[in-house]
């Protein structure tokens, strides 16, 4: 079976497992795990931030990150298909008391005029106040779309212009796949870091680690998030075993994402999708009968996912070789 359902399905390589076995560990709730400390420091440095916090999932990282910017009873603006709005089961409302309003862009992009029109400063005891804007790069449900750095910088300018000394407007960047955006565009990770107050990044997607994400931000935001992580039950003990996989992934699996992007373009072509519209590792292809197409592909040894009734999604990753991609492309083209 060639599994193109998601880039979360990768299994740790032998070399990654060896790095995990060797990891020197300690109780991270006591702040005594050296590998976790190394990973947090390294990732903070990559984004030009003061600190980072290891979390079990990207969803937890998003919940913690957004909460550093938004108090209960305030709102965050985001795109309507954002992971924080669609795929976290209402966590930001249920756990943080935060509401959301969304703008719609079919490619998941920043729509600054709409954001500016939606933005609600402190209007007194009448309206919900906007205290943060969240963006997702790459945008998962928009087919791995990249948000151009110029647009993010313009959004930063907007947020700064709205901020007052007592009421800052923050930007959260859901960077579950920021690595793919970085490799696809060559934009330095630190430049993405500079446009956001806080980021969430995943090691368990394209980088191929089995588990793990990080919140990245100021020392103050991370100290707060450390307390809230424990409150959510996310204080982990000898978790350097997992952090070691993350460090290994950063050393060995970052630049190779370019291969995943090339494989995705190959698959796009096979599915009749213009490869120019596939900047990273996700292909969304319209199909009249998505469920039927998924079932037929499965019969031919290719696992793909449906997004709604009329589109299918293919995701390339570490465990899909060039030969796998070519074989899957042949199968899909035939179907
Ligand atoms: C996968 C993903 C997350 C986090 O997912 P977890 O499964 O909770 O690790 C967050 N944002 C985006 C855009 C994602 O694709």
CATH class of 256-334: alpha beta
Quick one: CA dihedral 245, 247, 252, 256, positive or negative? positive
User: Is the domain covering 14-252 a CATH 3.10.150.10 domain?
Assistant: no
- Does ligand 1 have an atom closer than 6 angstroms to the CB of 40? no
* pLDDT tens per residue, range 152-199: 999 999 999 999 988 999 999 999 999 999 999 999 999 999 999 999
Per-residue buried b or exposed e for 77-110, using 16+ beta carbons within 10 Å of the residue's own CB:
bbbebbbbbeebeebbeebbebebbbbebeebbb
Ligand 1 site-directed mutation target among 54, 59, 147, most atoms within 8 Å of CB: 59
- Does ligand 1 have an atom closer than 6 angstroms to the CB of 172? no
| Smallest CA separation from ligand 1 atom 2, residue | 176
- The domain ranges of the chain are 14-252, 256-334
pLDDT in tens, the chain (335 residues): 999 999 999 999 999 999 999 999 999 999 999 999 999 999 999 999 999 999 999 999 999 999 999 999 999 999 999 999 999 999 999 999 999 999 999 999 999 999 999 999 988 899 999 999 999 999 999 999 999 999 999 999 999 999 998 899 999 999 999 999 999 999 999 999 999 999 999 999 999 999 999 999 999 999 999 999 999 999 999 999 999 999 999 999 999 999 999 999 999 999 999 999 999 999 999 999 999 999 999 999 999 999 999 999 999 999 999 999 999 999 999 99
Contacts of 329 (CB under 8 A, 6+ apart): 266, 267, 269, 270
Distance 205 CA to ligand 1 centre (A): 8
The pLDDT score that the predictor gives to residue 166 is 86
Ligand 1 site-directed mutation target among 92, 138, 174, most atoms within 8 Å of CB: 174
- Does ligand 1 have an atom closer than 6 angstroms to the CB of 56? no
Distance 126 CA to ligand 1 centre (A): 34
pTM of this prediction? 0.97
């Amino acid at each position: 079976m060639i599994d193109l359902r998601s880039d979360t399905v990768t299994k740790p390589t032998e070399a990654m497992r060896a790095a995990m076995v060797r990891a020197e560990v300690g109780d991270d709730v006591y702040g005594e795990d050296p590998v976790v400390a190394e990973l947090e420091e390294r990732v903070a440095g990559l984004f030009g931030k003061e600190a980072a916090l290891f979390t079990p999932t990207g969803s937890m990282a998003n919940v913690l990150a957004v909460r550093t910017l938004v108090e209960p009873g305030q709102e965050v603006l985001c795109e309507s298909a954002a992971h924080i709005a669609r795929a976290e089961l209402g966590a930001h409302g249920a756990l943080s008391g935060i509401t959301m309003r969304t703008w719609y862009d079919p490619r998941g992009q920043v729509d600054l005029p709409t954001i500016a029109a939606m933005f609600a400063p402190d209007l007194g005891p009448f309206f919900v106040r906007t205290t943060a804007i969240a963006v997702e790069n790459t945008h998962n449900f928009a087919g791995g779309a990249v948000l151009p750095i110029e647009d993010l910088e313009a959004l930063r300018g907007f947020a700064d212009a709205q901020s007052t000394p007592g009421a800052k407007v923050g930007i959260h960047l859901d960077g579950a796949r920021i690595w793919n955006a970085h490799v696809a565009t060559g934009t330095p990770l630190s430049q993405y870091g500079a446009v956001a107050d806080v980021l969430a990044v995943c090691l368990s997607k394209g980088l191929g680690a089995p588990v793990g994400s990080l919140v990245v931000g100021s020392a103050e935001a991370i100290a707060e998030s450390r307390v809230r992580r424990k409150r959510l039950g996310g204080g982990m003990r000898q978790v350097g075993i997992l952090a070691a996989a993350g460090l290994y992934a950063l050393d060995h699996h970052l630049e190779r994402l370019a291969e995943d992007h090339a494989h995705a373009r190959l698959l796009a072509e096979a599915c009749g999708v213009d490869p120019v519209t596939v900047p990273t590792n996700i292909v969304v292809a319209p199909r009249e009968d998505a469920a039927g197409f998924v079932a037929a592909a499965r019969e031919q040894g290719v696992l793909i996912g449906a997004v709604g009734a009329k589109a299918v999604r293919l995701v390339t990753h570490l465990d899909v070789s060039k030969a796998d991609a070519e074989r899957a492309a042949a199968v899909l083209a035939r179907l």
